[in-house]
Amino acid sequence: MFSTKRRQSIESITESKNVSAWESLILDLSETRREDDEMASDDDNSVGGRGFLNCADDDTSLSLSGSSNDEEKKGQKSDLPEFMKNIHQDNDAAASSNDGEETGRQGCPDPLSLYRNISQTNNTMSTLSSVDASSSQTTPTTLESPSQLKDWIAYCSAQHPPHVNYMGRKMDETYTLKAAQIALSLSKNLGRQFEQEKYAKSSHEDLISCEDIVVDNVIVTNVDGGEAALGSTSSPGGATNHRSGGNTERRQVLAMGMILYELFTQGTPPPRQIQESLKSSGSVLSFGTSLRISEKSEEEEEDGDRKASGGHRRKNKDDDDDNDMNGEADHAAQESFVRKQRRRRCDEKGKEESVPTLLKQAGVPSSICRLISDMLSNRDDTDFGGLFQYDKAVSCFAEAIMDLDQMVDEPKGYLHDTIRLSAKPTVRNKLYSRQKELEQGIELARSSAGGYHKEEEGREEYIEACAMDTSSSVKQEVLVISGLEGEQRAGSGKSSLVNELITQLKSNGWESLHCKFDQIGRRQPLSTIASAFDSLFSSLLSTENTLGSGGSGTLGVMRTNLLKSFDEESFPILFHLMPNLRRVVSNDGNSTDMQQAEYVFDEFALISSKIRVHNLFYELLKAISDAPMLLFLDDLHWADSASLELITFLIDEMGASITDDPIKGTNVFIIGTVRTNEVDNSSDLADFLQQMRSCYNVTVTDMALQDLSSDDVNVMISEALCYSQRLTRSLAGTVHHKTEGNPFFIKEFLNDLTVENLLVYSFSEKMWEWDEELIESRTISDGVAEILTRKLLRLSKEQLSGIVMLSCFGSEVSLEVLALVRSSCGNLDIMNTLDYLAKVRLVERSDEKYCFVHDMILHAAQGAVDENERMIIMKELLQALLPHGYSDDTILFIVVDLISRVGADRVHDSETRLLYAQLNLTAAKKATNTTDFASASTCVKCGVSFLTVGHWESSYRLSLELFSQSALVEWALGNTEQLMSSLEEVFNNANRFEDTLRAARVKLAYLRMTGNCLAEAFDYGFQVLEHLGESFPATPKNGIIVQEMLGTKQLVTGPLNESKLKSLPEMTDSTKKEAMAFLEQMLICSYQSQSIYFPLLACRMVRISVQYGWTKTSCV
């Protein structure tokens, strides 16, 4: 590193003087810096390479000892600038003040004084450079279009100067955004012009060369709009350069990078090394921890060192033979030492003078630093075929435009250096690659709404035009959205697409009903659909309370339509299913007698009751859809049979109603989401879809969502990381390969990578780092479920217990229910646990409930613990909810669902088993009352499974009611085999005839409704009536019939009898009540068969009513 003469000089100084360690360090730095300057001089890079320890001349080094003579010092000082002489003056002062000290420290500057002088020198140099810069350019006072880019930079820099805070210098955000707009416009113009020149076949006189792409040639054509273009260009020399291959797009991008450097640093030109790299097409750019550009290649520099070493050996070739080997060894060691020192100095120098470092020191945002550095790190295409090309280098204008487009469109995320509060990716709650499907959904919605979307003045003309054109009649539109066809069918974004559609439609006056069906958790019958209506009423009431009375016109119109559509007998049924409807109908908040009435269900009018409930839902939907309504049926593959029957009825009725008014339409748009892999062709859903397609005036549109492409995944990841798409492209390809383009899988996979430190954000460098090879090597055998399971297992014991407990209720649970179990399962406060789970986006909290963010998280939570531990949690929940299940129907159905999942095999206490059986019986009766016979059948079967051995003796009344209820619901469902089995169980084990009457009525109804069993029904009915004390002749004659009719006439005619009939009491005799019920059934049988018993049965019912009082089956 050092020459022999200098080494000897240093050694003599250190030997003759008592030099301290600090002084030795200064000596070493001085000589090292001198060598740097000499090497820079050899490489023609001496300008700007010297520090305060070296002056313009090699012999003007700072003297740190007293060995130099005064003349030499004076000669040195005379050649120094004024501000550099301060250092030597302080040195002389320090030497004179230390005369009394030991000789070895004479003339040695105090470290603190030297540091003070260094700082003063640096400040002075900065001041001089700023003065020179300010004197060389005059800031314009006004700016008009068009203007030179340099004038634009000077003007905007004065208007928006950079500021300095505790983090250093920072460019003004307004200036940075305007500069990005200028850069984007210029890049687009240059890229477009290059493409035109690339394919031009005729004249090349107007082609642009790299020498033309400089700041002086850039014109800002629109100052306010941020538009720029290249102005004057060179003459045909550019064309020659282009044809020779030196004017490639890479080199034009490199030239463009230099313009951006000066643009974003507010007029500071790039380092001279970078400028000169454009002059040679073979310039080599080397990259270490930061960008460093050198005109000579690494191989050329090492070759130069070898030549120098070789020359030194040739110089000593005439020495005596004894010194040959020692000389060669010395030179070999020196050569190795020189290479190491040169490499170290180059690395340190590269870090100090690298493009990213210079840009960061200038306060340029990190995103712009990366773009400019990557543009300046470009190689020519012809250099070794791009073999040594920097992998992130910007090689074409399209890549630069991609970066700048993102920065201009979203400056907060991509341009400005906003402080990240988390080192995790944030996937945006938006749709990716679903714009076509969204537009199709909006068009179908407009079709369903008829002329609603027309402007007020154009609505009548639209309706008249439709009336003239019968082909334009409105049809009931139904959209069925299915998920992916690959392995990852869940998480394709079905619900997200519909939610975005709802958001856009609501801005146009639409309302929505969201029915979310659940695989887990048996709810109150028809509650999924009913709760959707109830939630809508609650939302409208809240809006009215917020805006004040009369603030919500929608609610007022809805209230008026409801009162017109329903009578006093209909409201109690709806109030039972939708409690908030009572508040909507009651305008003043006080319930009337009609609204306080309770619904009484006739269990033997099952068919008519079901039809009535279906009609009530249809009339309710019509009453509230004066404005367009979207009915969202989410996860139809989990819908129960009762809900599917109701939905089929609604669609069929709406299609039929269009026949009466083919122009107006129903104002209802129905969307259903399904996973086709969850059901087979024989399922209820397949039958439902087939029936829906066959409905009159109904158009069913199928929409299958495809997985995201690699480009779509890149956009998604780029926005999640707030990182350029150019830089995330390779990561997106790996993620796409792993996730198959499933949106939900992508989100969870990115989060998993950050947890495993495979995707890391560097806060110091403000950039993301990842290892694609490690990411690619990860094996995920079970897809997103495996990732979610790992995610849950990272939770604490209390948090895991909380989310497992939540999964026991299904996809959602109300805050009211959670309040009852808040101290269960070892959680002192389940609310705090769930709030944390909401922060980490595992669950969501609304005003009234907690729900899982996605069904896949629900399934992962169920599998996060083993079966035994989950059973323990469900039993604890049962104990907490049991006391409340008797008074609250919602709690009751949650309890019986938990009971069914615990199972009879895991409950051994006889009292507990009987309690669970009784609760299921109660739930079955309530389900029957709402015509949900499938749920009622499930409850009955579950209740029977909990009966103990010998239950007819130990639990007679419970067993009788369970099997009688089973016979009723199985008859309603048409399950003949189960019906007969339940009837036989009752008839064989009943202790009294009266205990069989309910089952007997079911059997009579079954025989009556079976076409070829009317004769058997007559025989069986008369047998039962005879046991009830009402006998009839086997073969009635005409005389007996006439006599019976005349006697009945005398009972009901005359003033006294009419007055008596009006004051009849209610029947209290239970035997006669049962007789009246069977007489009604027999009367229907005789009417169906035109039997002669008809008048006898009717007269008998009148006589019993007059004598014992009236019942609901009385005809008086």
pLDDT at residue 108, rounded to an integer: 45
pLDDT at residue 602, rounded to an integer: 58
| Percent of the chain with pLDDT strictly greater than 70 | 69
- Cα-Cα-Cα-Cα dihedral sign, residues 460, 463, 468, 469: positive
pLDDT at residue 587, rounded to an integer: 62
Asked if residue 648 lies in contact with residue 608, where contact means CB atoms within 8 angstroms, the answer is no
Strands laid side by side in the 476-482 sheet: 511-516, 629-634, 668-674, 476-482, 698-704
Give mean pLDDT, residues 5-11. 44
Give mean pLDDT, residues 500-509. 90
pLDDT at residue 312, rounded to an integer: 38
Query: Which residue blocks in 59-148 are alpha helix, DSSP H?
Result: 70-79, 85-97, 111-136
Is residue 177 pLDDT above 90, yes or no?
Answer: yes
Burial of 583 (0-12, 13-18, 19+ CB in 10 A): middle
Asked if residue 821 lies in contact with residue 830, where contact means CB atoms within 8 angstroms, the answer is yes
Structure-token match 């009211």, residue found: 816
Q: Which of 767, 675, 682 is nearest to 369 (CA)?
A: 767
Among 421-425, 601-605, 900-904, the least confident range: 601-605
What tens digit of pLDDT does each residue of 48-92 get? Answer: 343 333 333 434 333 333 334 444 444 444 444 444 444 444 444
Give mean pLDDT, residues 1009-1014. 75
Specify the amino acid at residue 504: Q
Q: Rounded to an integer, what distance in angstroms lies between the CA atom of residue 65 and that of residue 1068?
A: 127
pLDDT at residue 983, rounded to an integer: 94
1075 or 328, higher pLDDT: 1075
Among 487-491, 560-564, 803-807, the least confident range: 487-491
Is residue 580 pLDDT above 50, yes or no?
Answer: yes
Is residue 331 pLDDT above 60, yes or no?
Answer: no
pLDDT at residue 327, rounded to an integer: 54
pLDDT at residue 945, rounded to an integer: 94
Here the tokens at position 83 are 């501000």
According to the per-residue pLDDT averaged within each range, which of 50-64, 109-123, 166-180, 196-210 is highest?
166-180
What tens digit of pLDDT does each residue of 413-448 get? Answer: 888 887 776 778 888 888 888 889 999 999 998 888
| Percent of the chain with pLDDT strictly greater than 90 | 25
What tens digit of pLDDT does each residue of 1018-1043 get? Answer: 889 999 999 999 999 888 888 888 98
- Classify residue 411 by its DSSP letter: I
- Which string of b and e fits 109-137 if b means at least 16 CB within 10 Å? beeeebeebeeebeeeeeeeeeeeeeeee
Specify the amino acid at residue 409: D
pLDDT at residue 736, rounded to an integer: 92
Is residue 346 pLDDT above 90, yes or no?
Answer: no
Which pLDDT band, with edges at 50, 70 and 90, does 961 fall under? very high
pLDDT at residue 463, rounded to an integer: 44
Beta strands 147-148 and 668-674 are unpaired
Among 609-613, 778-782, 1089-1093, the least confident range: 778-782
Collapse the DSSP code of 67 into the 3-class scheme (helix H, G, I; strand E, B; otherwise coil) and give the result. Answer: coil
Is residue 552 pLDDT above 70, yes or no?
Answer: no
Which pLDDT band, with edges at 50, 70 and 90, does 797 fall under? confident
- Integer CA distances (angstroms), 650 to 449, 653, 660, 1024, in order: 17, 5, 16, 40
pLDDT at residue 963, rounded to an integer: 96
Tell how far CA 515 is from the center of its chain: 21
pLDDT at residue 539, rounded to an integer: 86
Beta strands 668-674 and 629-634 are parallel
How many beta carbons lie within 10 A of that of residue 262, not counting itself?
A: 18
Among 209-213, 629-633, 791-795, the least confident range: 209-213
Is residue 37 pLDDT above 60, yes or no?
Answer: no
pLDDT at residue 338, rounded to an integer: 52
- Integer CA distances (angstroms), 30 to 23, 85, 633, 655, in order: 10, 17, 80, 94
Give mean pLDDT, residues 749-756. 90
How many beta carbons lie within 10 A of that of residue 937, not counting itself?
A: 22
Is residue 102 pLDDT above 70, yes or no?
Answer: no
Backbone angles phi, psi at 849, to 5 degrees: -160, 165
Q: What is the DSSP string of 629-697?
A: EEEEEETGGG--HHHHHHHHHHHHHHHHHHHH-TTT--SEEEEEEE-GGGS-TTSHHHHHHHHHHTSTT
How many beta carbons lie within 10 A of that of residue 1012, not counting itself?
A: 7
pLDDT at residue 518, rounded to an integer: 82
Here the tokens at position 293 are 């550009």
Name the region of 436 (left: φ>0; alpha: ψ -120 to 50; beta: rest): alpha
Q: First CA to last CA across the chain, in angstroms?
A: 125
Query: Which residue blocks in 481-549 are alpha helix, DSSP H?
Result: 494-506, 527-547
- Classify residue 708 by its DSSP letter: P
pLDDT at residue 306, rounded to an integer: 40
Asked if residue 1031 lies in contact with residue 1025, where contact means CB atoms within 8 angstroms, the answer is yes
Here the tokens at position 231 are 């102005």
Is residue 17 pLDDT above 60, yes or no?
Answer: no
Give mean pLDDT, residues 173-185. 94
Is residue 104 pLDDT above 50, yes or no?
Answer: no
Q: Rounded to an integer, what distance in angstroms lies between the CA atom of residue 616 and that of residue 606?
A: 15
Beta strands 511-516 and 629-634 are parallel
What tens digit of pLDDT does each residue of 648-695 get? Answer: 999 988 888 876 555 556 789 999 998 876 655 546 788 888 888 888
What tens digit of pLDDT does each residue of 697-708 get? Answer: 888 999 988 889
Q: Rounded to an integer, what distance in angstroms lies between the CA atom of residue 511 and that of residue 630?
A: 6
Q: Rounded to an integer, what distance in angstroms lies between the CA atom of residue 1026 and that of residue 142?
A: 112
Is residue 19 pLDDT above 70, yes or no?
Answer: no
Q: Which of 249, 251, 271 is nearest to 261 (CA)?
A: 271
Q: Which of 379, 465, 469, 363 is nearest to 416 (CA)?
A: 363
pLDDT at residue 34, rounded to an integer: 52
Among 499-503, 914-918, 1010-1014, the least confident range: 1010-1014
Among 40-44, 562-566, 780-784, 950-954, the least confident range: 40-44
pLDDT at residue 75, rounded to an integer: 45
Asked if residue 220 lies in contact with residue 145, where contact means CB atoms within 8 angstroms, the answer is yes
Which pLDDT band, with edges at 50, 70 and 90, does 923 fall under? very high
Mean pLDDT of all residues in the chain?
75
Give mean pLDDT, residues 1051-1057. 78
pLDDT at residue 399, rounded to an integer: 92
- Which string of b and e fits 618-649 if b means at least 16 CB within 10 Å? bbbbbbbbebbbbbbbbbbbbbbbbbbbbbbb
CA 45-49-54 angle, 5° bins: 130
Here the tokens at position 738 are 């792993």
Q: How many CA atoms lie within 13 A of 305 on its CB side?
A: 20
pLDDT at residue 270, rounded to an integer: 86
Contacts of residue 344, Cβ cutoff 8 Å, sequence gap at least 6: none
Burial of 15 (0-12, 13-18, 19+ CB in 10 A): exposed
What tens digit of pLDDT does each residue of 248-292 get? Answer: 888 889 899 999 999 999 999 888 777 776 665 443 343 333 334
229 or 491, higher pLDDT: 229
Give mean pLDDT, residues 442-455. 71
pLDDT at residue 663, rounded to an integer: 52
